[in-house]
Amino acid sequence: MTQQPPSRPTEPQVDAGRRRLLRAGAAASTLALAAGTSLPAFAAPPAPVVATVHGRVRGLREHGVQVFRGIRYGADTAPVRFRAPLPPAPWRGVQDATAYGAQAPQRSREGMGSEDCLFLNVWTPDTDPRARRPVLFYIHGGGYDAGNGSDPLYDGTRLCTRGDVVVVTVNHRLNAFGYLYLGLLAAGYGSSGNAGQLDLVLALQWVRDNIARFGGDPGNVTVFGQSGGGAKIATLMAMPAARGLFHKAWTMSGQQVTAAGPRAATQRAQLFLRTVGIDPDAGDALARLQALPAQRIVEGTTARDFSRVEDTRLYFGPVMDGEVLPRHPFWPDAPAQSAAIPMVVGNTRDETRAFLGGDPANFELGWEELPARLEKQQYVDIRADLVVAHYRALYPHYTPSEVFFAATTAGRSWRGAVEELEARARQARGAAPTWAYQLDWGSPLDGGKFRAFHTLDIPLVFDNIRQPGSRTGEGAAAQQVAEAMSGALLALARHGDPNHPGLPHWEPYTLPRRQTLLFDVPPSLADDPRGGERAFWQQAPFVQRGTM
């Protein structure tokens, strides 16, 4: 039986008032009919209009909340390609905020997008500036290459109605437009490797300056993001320009321990320029790059990277440029500027089933072929046969395919989470706590073969298991996990602590215990889950992809 969303509690006095109105309306209808007249239709509530610092915007009323889509927070980036964004020019009149704005240029099924892409979306219970509700600011995934803030899974309605919060999602520059580092190739472009991060700073500044007009509290902003969104949050935590713009953080399967070094980022820029037909050493290289159509720049991002772990396409991501990002985000320690920010760091138990599960052969591996397949897909440089032997000793009941997915998850996706958690745990006394989670509950779809795969926690945290694109199913267990996870996010936003009555007591992550909440049915707290795997992979130094 399909579980329906829990109904909202009704207040007795509201029901009584509604009954009085209905009785009065019925009586008026009877009198009007007797007199041979008709009643005027009840007028629909007017569309909400909010005056931002740049101009007025008109939104919609949907499902009990007020929604504003496609609010411009920055000017068209085409005139400042590869440079810091600019705020929008003020406008007169009222702009419609009823449709999502363009996504950043990228290769996607939704189309290429536009350089005029600095738009955000707001869901709010109402726009009373006195409400001062917690603000949830979501940064989408897709690495640093793709994505947008308008996916149905990011719809903020459920969080608004359940938690009495304001939800914001955002678009920003990606791939070469947001992260092509030209600082060592051209004067005046020192921030180009982090232009996409500066877009997010501008969006957070917009929240600071405007969100009270939408019923939110600019002094209580929680950033949360999945995959690339989580990595962007980790990077923001080390950017001086982002200091004070958010107050809590929740990352999901997305970490940024180290950033690209300027030499590696410059080599990638040179490779990119040659891919689009420009000699990096030519005097007119930058002018020719600026004149390229956006479509050609997107095509240039498909060049094959020189790094072993980037064996498909050119890596783009944040750059430790000495200006916008003066240090690695979480190495050699957690950034001091963010020590006071309560943080949740999470991952899913079976991350790489999302990336590698599309190949049916990976579900039918034998022991003989496993080492070679593992060698091709693991990021950490440890002999594959030793990896297989270790996992067979840890989990003697695992099949070769289960070893493959477990080892690639631990060596690729999970490792960065452990590094960030340990860095936060080592931070000086007086720092805000950090909580760790692992999503163990797996999707029942496709016979359950993908388990707790990368991205599965998105509809659970948004409580959007019935939205298009959700792979959770609509069963009672999915709804139970969604309520536990979204409730934890709402508790963090409101109280600075993710604990709520639907969870066992969630202790902060400390060394050496490494307390981790396992989201499952039911949820449980464990010390150092998968500790044998963690210790094995830590024999090799961790280097974030794209750093070299």
Which residues does the annotation mark as catalytic?
227, 351, 454
> Rounded to whole angstroms, how far apart are CA atoms 313 and 513?
39
Beta strands across the sheet bearing 524-527: 60-62, 65-72, 119-124, 166-170, 133-139, 216-226, 248-252, 343-348, 434-439, 515-519, 524-527
> Rounded to whole angstroms, how far apart are CA atoms 326 and 239?
7
Centre a 10 Å sphere on the Cβ of residue 280 and count the other Cβ atoms it contains. 17
> Rounded to whole angstroms, how far apart are CA atoms 144 and 197?
10
> Rounded to whole angstroms, how far apart are CA atoms 241 and 544?
23
> Smallest Cα–Cα separation from 400: which of 358, 368, 365, 357?
365
CA distances from 301 to 108, 137, 141, 407 (A): 13, 28, 18, 29
Cβ atoms of 55 and 91 closer than 8 Å? yes
> Smallest Cα–Cα separation from 195: which of 146, 158, 232, 142?
232
> Going by C-beta distance under 8 Å and a sequence separation of 6 or more, which residues neighbour residue 207?
135, 137, 168, 216, 218, 221, 245
Residue-wise DSSP of 178-220: HH---TTTSTT-TTGGGHHHHHHHHHHHHHHHHGGGGTEEEEE
For residue 113, the one-letter residue type is: G
Centre a 10 Å sphere on the Cβ of residue 346 and count the other Cβ atoms it contains. 25
CA distances from 453 to 152, 166, 231, 386 (A): 19, 28, 18, 25
Structure tokens at 32: 């009007």
> Rounded to whole angstroms, how far apart are CA atoms 80 and 85?
7
Residue with tokens 């309306």: 25
Query: What is the H or E stretch that residue 15 is in?
Result: helix 12-35
> Rounded to whole angstroms, how far apart are CA atoms 135 and 224?
11
Centre a 10 Å sphere on the Cβ of residue 364 and count the other Cβ atoms it contains. 11
